[in-house]
Structure 1
Amino acid sequence: MKLGMVAGEASGDLLGGLLMQGLRTRWPALSAVGIGGPRLQAEGLDSWWPAERLAVHGFVDALKVYLPLVKLRRELGDRLLDARPAAFIGIDAPDFNLGLETRLKQAGLPTVHFVCPSIWAWRGGRVKAIAAAADHVLCLFPFEPALLAKSGIAASYVGHPLADALPLDPPRAAARAALGLAEGEIVVGLLPGSRRSEVRFNAAAFAAAGRRLQAARPGLKLLLPVAPGLRGLVEEALAAAGAADAVQLLDGRSHEVMAASDSLIIASGTATLEAALFKRPMVIGYRMASLNWALMKRMAYQPWVGLPNILAGEFLVPELLQHAMTPEALATATLRWLDDPAACARLVERFTELHLRLRRDTARAAAGALGALLGA
C-alpha cells in the first residue's frame, strides 16, 4: 500500500504521523510520498519538498507566495500522477490541498481529505470545493458528517487521534520532571503559534504578558516551545518585548509544556484543542494582519474562534483577539486562572467530557473508511 500525503503545518504533520501509525496496523508495509514534516517523515513519508513551504496563514501571506505555491502544487501533482499511489490523503491545509485533490480526482486517483475544513465556522461556500476535491472526508468532530452529507459529500467521523493517544489524566509530574521543574513552581506556557506570521504578531505580546505575570508572582517560570525553524524569530520577539532573559525556550516539546504548566497563553488554532486534552486552563490570544482580520470578521458564523469554546458552544476559556490582545489583558486573564483553583477544577471536568467525546479509535475508523473506499 502506497499513499500520497501532504501536510503543510505542525498540526497537520502531527495528525498525519498518528494516522500513519494507525494505518500501518492494517497495512504493515504501508509507505507514503508527498510533503510532510518530521512526524510524518519519522513514520516513513518520503517528503519531496520541505513542509515549511506550505506553512502560510491568512490572505496576505498567501498572496505573497501565491505563484510559488501554484508552481509547487503543479509539480507535486505531476509527480503524484507519475507515482500513482493507491490514494491521496490531503491533511488539513485546504487552500493548498483541495485544489491538488481536485486535479488528482479528475485523473482517477481516489482522494481523501483528513480534517473537515471549518465550514461551520466560516467560509461555508467552500463546501463546493470539497465536493469537487474529495471522494471521502475524515472528520474530527461528530457533527461534521451530517453537515457534509447535505451537499452529497461522503464522510466518516473518526474522532481526534490525539484523544486516543493522550491519557485522560495528564502526566503532569512526569512532564515537570522531564523539564527540570519542581512540583511547587508556578509555570505558565507561552505558545504563540507554529507559523512565522503567528510568531511575528503574537510572540512579543505573549512575552510581555509573561513579564507582567512574573512581576505579580515572583519566581513564576515562563516556558515557550519553539516550532522548527523559528527560534531566531522568537528570540527577536522576546528581545523586542524586553523578555529575552525571562522566558525559557525549548525546541519543540509543546506537549510536555502543556502538561507541566499551571496555565497557558496560547494562539488560536489546533494547539488549543491539544491544550484542552491536557486539561489546561488557558487564555487564547491572536493577532493577524489588519486585512486578514477584516475579512475573517465578515466571514465568521460563530462568536468563538477557539476550538474548545466552539465544541462546547460557550466561552469556557477567554479569547482576546486583535486589538483586545494586549499584554495587560493576557496577564490579567491568566492571573484569574492562577487565583481560582475551583474554576480550574470545573474546567478539568468539562475538558474531560470533551476528551471522551473525541475518543473514537481514530486509527481503526480511518483505516476502515480508506479500506472501504479502495476495496482493500
Structure 2
Amino acid sequence: MVAGEPSGDLLAGLLLDGLQARWPGVETVGIGGPHMLARGFESWWPQEKLAVRGYIEVLRHYAEIAGIRRQLKARLLREWPGLFIGIDAPDFNLDLEAGLRGRGIKTVHFVCPSIWAWRPDRIEKIRAAADHVLCIFPFEPALLAEQGVAASYVGHPLANVIPMTPDRSAARATLDLPPDAQVVALLPGSRRSEVRYLASRFFQAAALMAKLQPAIRFIVPVIPSLRTEVVAMLKASGMEGRVTLLDGQSHTALAACDATLIASGTATLEAALFKRPMVIAYNMNRVSWHLMHRQQMQPWVGLPNILCGDFVVPELLQEAATPEALASATLRWLTEPDKVQALQHRFTALHEELRRDTPTLCADAIEQVLEG
C-alpha cells in the first residue's frame, strides 16, 4: 500500500480495518503515515517524502520522488505481494500500479482521481493501472464503467468517522475553550507547500478579524513536522499569543469551531461533515496555478461545492485569497445564523448520502479482485 499524504493515511487506516477484519494476520507494507502505522503497517519510507503538491513543487523534488518509486517497484517485484493498493496520490501511484500490473501483480486504486473535475485524460492511465477502483462518491462507478474500468462505490470513510451531530461542547472542553466564545479554526493545509503559501495569509486575515471582533478565539491544528515553520509565520504576523496551536487534532478543531478558514482539499469535506460553515482558500506557485486552472472542468474547486453542485460556501483562490477578502468572508458566517442553518441542512443530506459500511465494502471488492 502507498498513501502519499495525511488525508490518504486516514483513508488507508480505515481500509486496513476492513482488511484485518476479513483476513486476520494480513501483512501490509509500503509507504504510509501514523493511522496506518497504528494498525501494524510497515512503512519503508516516511510519508512526508511524497506530500508535495503543484507542478513546480513536484519538479523540485522529482528526482527524490522518482527514485523512491523505482526502488519501491523493484522491491515489490522481488517480494511479489498478493495485492498492491494505491491510496489516492494518483501522480505517484498510477504509474507504479501500471508497472506492477503489467508484470502480473493485481492492483486496486482507492479514491477515483477526479476526472470529472479536471484532467479527464487520466482515464487512460486508470484503465492501464487498476484492476479495480474503490470510489468514494456515488456517481463515479458509472462514469468509470463507461470507460471500461471496474469500480465499486464504497462510501466515503470519513462519513462514518465523523458523527452526524458533532459534540461542540465536548470538543471545546477538550481544547479548553469557553463554551460561549466565537471560535474560528484556521486550517492552511497539511503539506509544506500549502502552508508556505497559505499560513501567512490566514494569520493576517485572523489579525484583521481580531481588530474588528477582539473576542474571537483562533485555533490552528498543526502536524508536528510543520510546527517550526508555522510558529515562524505566526510570529511574523504579530498574532503570537492570539492564536492557539494544536498538535494535530483537526477533527477536534472542526467540531469546536463556529466557522473555518480552510485550504482546498479533503479537509473541506471533513468540515462539511462536521456541518461547519467555511471559506475555502488556495494559493500556489503561479505557473502551477495556470497549468491546473486550464484543465479545470467545473466552476468549483472545493469538494463541498462540487458535491452540492453549487457555491454553497465561498471560494477565494490565488490572487483573490487576500487577507482582507478572507477575513471578510469568514466574519460573514459569524453574523448570518439563518444562512448557517440552511448550510447545515445541506451538509447533513450530503453526510447521509456518503455514509456506508466502507471497510466491509472495500474488503468485499478486494476479495473479488483476489479471487478473480
Q: Aligned Cα RMSD in Å?
A: 1.0
| CA apart distance, 1:228 | 3.1
Counterparts of 1:133-144 in structure 2, within 5 Å, are 133-144=129-140
1:50 is the counterpart of 2:46: yes
3-state secondary structure, aligned to 1:189: strand
Equivalence for 2:255: 259
Equivalence for 1:150: 146
Paired letter, 1:339? T
Counterparts of 1:1-376 in structure 2, within 5 Å, are 5-375=1-371
**Inter-partner Cα distance in structure 2 for 1:259 and 1:331:** 21
Paired letter, 1:68? E
Any stretches of 5+ residues in structure 2 without a counterpart? Answer: none
**Inter-partner Cα distance in structure 1 for 2:163 and 2:64:** 41
**Inter-partner Cα distance in structure 2 for 1:360 and 1:18:** 12
| CA apart distance, 1:217 | 1.4
Q: TM-score, normalised by structure 2?
A: 0.98
CA displacement, residues 140-195 of structure 1 (integer Å, 9 cap, x when unaligned): 10111111112111010111011012210012111111101111011100000000
Name whichever of 252-261 and 214-223 sits farther off.
214-223
3-state secondary structure, aligned to 2:245: strand
**Inter-partner Cα distance in structure 2 for 1:292 and 1:246:** 33
CA displacement, residues 17-40 of structure 1 (integer Å, 9 cap, x when unaligned): 111112222112222000001111
**Inter-partner Cα distance in structure 1 for 2:129 and 2:96:** 8
**Inter-partner Cα distance in structure 1 for 2:213 and 2:90:** 42
| CA apart distance, 1:245 | 2.4
**Inter-partner Cα distance in structure 2 for 1:38 and 1:228:** 12
CA displacement, residues 29-83 of structure 1 (integer Å, 9 cap, x when unaligned): 2220000011111111100010011011010011111122111101001111222
**Inter-partner Cα distance in structure 2 for 1:212 and 1:372:** 55
**Inter-partner Cα distance in structure 2 for 1:236 and 1:57:** 22
| CA apart distance, 1:258 | 0.3
Paired letter, 2:66? V
**Inter-partner Cα distance in structure 2 for 1:322 and 1:240:** 21
**Inter-partner Cα distance in structure 2 for 1:33 and 1:107:** 19
3-state secondary structure, aligned to 2:280: strand
Name whichever of 163-172 and 284-293 sits farther off.
163-172
Paired letter, 1:44? G
Name whichever of 165-174 and 233-242 sits farther off.
233-242
**Inter-partner Cα distance in structure 2 for 1:259 and 1:22:** 26
Any stretches of 5+ residues in structure 1 without a counterpart? Answer: none
Paired letter, 2:122? R
**Inter-partner Cα distance in structure 2 for 1:338 and 1:209:** 15
3-state secondary structure, aligned to 1:303: coil
Paired letter, 1:154? A
Paired letter, 1:286? Y
* Identical amino acids, percent of aligned pairs: 59
Runs (4+) of structure 1 moved beyond 6 Å?
Answer: none
| CA apart distance, 1:247 | 1.1
